[in-house]
Amino acid sequence: MNYVIIGGGISGLVSAHALLKGNPSAKITIVEKDKNLGGLLAGIEYEDENLYFDTGTHIFQETGNQELDQLLLNSVPSSDLIRFPIGQGDICGTVFNRNLQKNSHFPDLRQYKNNNILKSILKHLNDLEEVPLIRREVSLDNVATARFGKEFTQNVIAPIFEHTFDLSINSISAFSLLLTGWTRVILDEEKEWLSRSEDSLYRSLVAIPEQRNLPRNLHHGRRSFYSKENGSRAFIEGLTKHLTQHDVRILNDCTINSFDINALEFSLSHSSGTINSLRAEKVIFSNGVIGTAKVLGTNLTNFGFEKPMRHRVIDVVLREPCDGDLCYLLGLDPFCDWYRVTNYAAITRDSMDRRLSIEVLGDNESKSGNLIQNCLDQLKEISFLSSSDLEFKNIRDLPSGFPTPSVQNLTSMSELWLYLKNLLPKNIMVGGIGAQGDLFFQNEVLEDIYKKTLQFA
């Protein structure tokens, strides 16, 4: 069987592996529009400085699908693989009420003692009979109110999320709670929390105050992993090497000029100017629902998508190392111009690693001007950094941008998915971001495309 996979990001590579597993003699061609494979996980190399930085997700986490996890783990030499013990590797803090909160990334509301917000949440939780689910197409306002009550939603969630996503709380989707990980709150001291931790409703909405003390039996049990030397691109290189050894053809730097959906025939042009046609018996689009729709010439304006948020990544090398074990820090506070910081020293466990990536969402006025200095000053003010002196800095715009987590976009995405499902014949499969209507996170996207490809093969 002759397969064409569109997109050479991690989804496309994983899909090719699944095809080979089902049929080792399959003829597979991967078409990638960029020079490099890997999509978001290709990272960036500053060759003159001999420096590498990841983009987007950095640490991998087991998906729970053993075959897939093994595939990812085996793609990197074991000497280079860091496998974090359960509960470590994704230690994340947040800025909340202008303070660096290291104990947990969930908002710590113990500071609101004797205040109406805390009282109102406690009353709300007491009245709840079941855990309100986080439905991605529903508004943040509705879901946060159902989970934590009106007082907290209006007074705490609204100003923070409206600042971060530059939309009103009614227009932001509840998906934003998953993006930021703000699915629970901290209300109680550890002793009280432990005494109530058997109660699943309580545990689903109230977090332990110190993330490092979560009892082992309550961890999800999935280990995180990372390549010490080469970061996320190491997984891309490893997956690709195996594919080329099995004669998978990779056409990178290639633009699709047209696609005949009935004949399954593509016309491609390479950046060198050559034009080829490529025919398949089965086609896998791994470039997500929007990427697929663009190749098909679908008019996306009919679906009402809002434009993605501007997403910039500031890569820096500090003069002084950043202490502490926080791999990530969320800037969910109107005080912060940045959205998320990645601290490579905590991920690579090398205290001499002085790289940070600082992600900035949106482009309102405070995020223009001296953005790099402003972000570093803010990190110093909350004592995340002892000094804002730098050895290297660069700021880059991500071309794909951050998907604005609005109710409208989530609705449009699910409508587009249904449209493609009805339109496409059985010999075309779609995976990647937006598959099944709302998939986004790396683990869910990979699990979906891996399983679906095995059946499709």
Ligand X SMILES: Cc1cc2nc3c(=O)[nH]c(=O)nc-3n(C[C@H](O)[C@H](O)[C@H](O)COP(=O)(O)OP(=O)(O)OC[C@H]3O[C@@H](n4cnc5c(N)ncnc54)[C@H](O)[C@@H]3O)c2cc1C
Which listed residue (4, 5, 19, 41) binds ligand X by CB under 6 A?
41
Residue 57 interacting with ligand X (CB under 6 A): yes
The span from the CA of 49 to the CA of 66, in Å, is 38
Dihedral sign for Cα atoms in the order 180, 286, 457, 253: negative
Which listed residue (398, 408, 427, 448) binds ligand X by CB under 6 A?
398
The span from the CA of 182 to the CA of 331, in Å, is 12
The span from the CA of 140 to the CA of 134, in Å, is 9
Q: Which residue, 34 or 265, is less far from ligand X as judged by CB?
A: 34
Residue 363 interacting with ligand X (CB under 6 A): no
Residue 40 interacting with ligand X (CB under 6 A): yes
Which listed residue (89, 432, 456, 457) binds ligand X by CB under 6 A?
432
Q: Which residue, 152 or 440, is less far from ligand X as judged by CB?
A: 440
Residue 34 interacting with ligand X (CB under 6 A): yes
- With tokens 């959205």, the residue in question is 339
Phi, psi for 355 (deg, rounded to 5):
-85, 140
Which listed residue (10, 167, 234, 326) binds ligand X by CB under 6 A?
10
Least separation in angstroms between residue 55's CB and ligand X is 8
Residues numbered 182-221 forming contacts with ligand X, rule: CB under 6 A: none
Binding segment for ligand X (CB under 6 A), chosen from 30-38, 198-206, 297-305, 330-338, is 30-38
Residues numbered 288-327 forming contacts with ligand X, rule: CB under 6 A: 288, 291, 295, 311
Least separation in angstroms between residue 39's CB and ligand X is 2
Q: What is the DSSP string of 1-59?
A: -EEEEE--BHHHHHHHHHHHHH-TT-EEEEE-SSSSSBGGGG-EEEGGGTEEE--S--S
Q: Which residue, 209 or 291, is less far from ligand X as judged by CB?
A: 291
Binding segment for ligand X (CB under 6 A), chosen from 31-39, 67-75, 157-165, 360-368, is 31-39
Provide the H-helix boundaries in 52-93: 66-74
The DSSP H or E segment spanning 253 is none
Percentages (nearest 5) of helix, strand, coil residues in the chain: 40, 25, 40
Binding segment for ligand X (CB under 6 A), chosen from 28-36, 193-201, 258-266, 364-372, is 28-36
- Residue 402 DSSP one-character state: B
Residue 43 interacting with ligand X (CB under 6 A): no
Task: Name which of 49, 28, 9 is nearest 280 in CA terms.
Answer: 28
Pair 352, 362: CB distance under 8 Å: no
Least separation in angstroms between residue 12's CB and ligand X is 6
Residue 89 interacting with ligand X (CB under 6 A): no
Which listed residue (4, 18, 32, 413) binds ligand X by CB under 6 A?
32
User: Within 13 Å, how many C-alpha atoms sit on residue 147's CB side?
Assistant: 24
Residue type, position 2, single letter: N
Q: Which residue, 150 or 241, is less far from ligand X as judged by CB?
A: 241
Write the CA distances from 202 to 78, 199, 403, integer angstroms. 40, 5, 31
Residue 105 interacting with ligand X (CB under 6 A): no
Q: Which residue, 11 or 211, is less far from ligand X as judged by CB?
A: 11
Write the CA distances from 358 to 223, 342, 343, 401, integer angstroms. 25, 7, 9, 15
Binding segment for ligand X (CB under 6 A), chosen from 4-12, 235-243, 318-326, 349-357, is 4-12
Which listed residue (20, 39, 169, 174) binds ligand X by CB under 6 A?
39
Binding segment for ligand X (CB under 6 A), chosen from 65-73, 163-171, 331-339, 433-441, is 433-441
Which listed residue (7, 93, 238, 331) binds ligand X by CB under 6 A?
7
Residue 441 interacting with ligand X (CB under 6 A): yes
Least separation in angstroms between residue 232's CB and ligand X is 9
The span from the CA of 65 to the CA of 21, in Å, is 15
Contacts with ligand X: how many residues (CB under 6 A)?
32
The span from the CA of 119 to the CA of 10, in Å, is 46
Residue 53 interacting with ligand X (CB under 6 A): no
Least separation in angstroms between residue 84's CB and ligand X is 16
Which listed residue (20, 31, 143, 329) binds ligand X by CB under 6 A?
31
Query: Where are any strands of DSSP class E within 202-286?
Result: 224-227, 249-251, 254-260, 265-270, 275-279, 282-285
Pair 255, 247: CB distance under 8 Å: no
Least separation in angstroms between residue 241's CB and ligand X is 17
Q: Which residue, 148 or 339, is less far from ligand X as judged by CB?
A: 339
Q: Is 169 helix (H, G, I), strand (E, B) or coil?
A: coil
User: What's the farthest any 2 CA atoms get from each other in the chain?
Assistant: 71
Residues that bind ligand X (CB under 6 A): 6-12, 31-34, 39-41, 56-57, 256, 286-288, 291, 295, 311, 398, 400, 402, 432-433, 440-442, 445
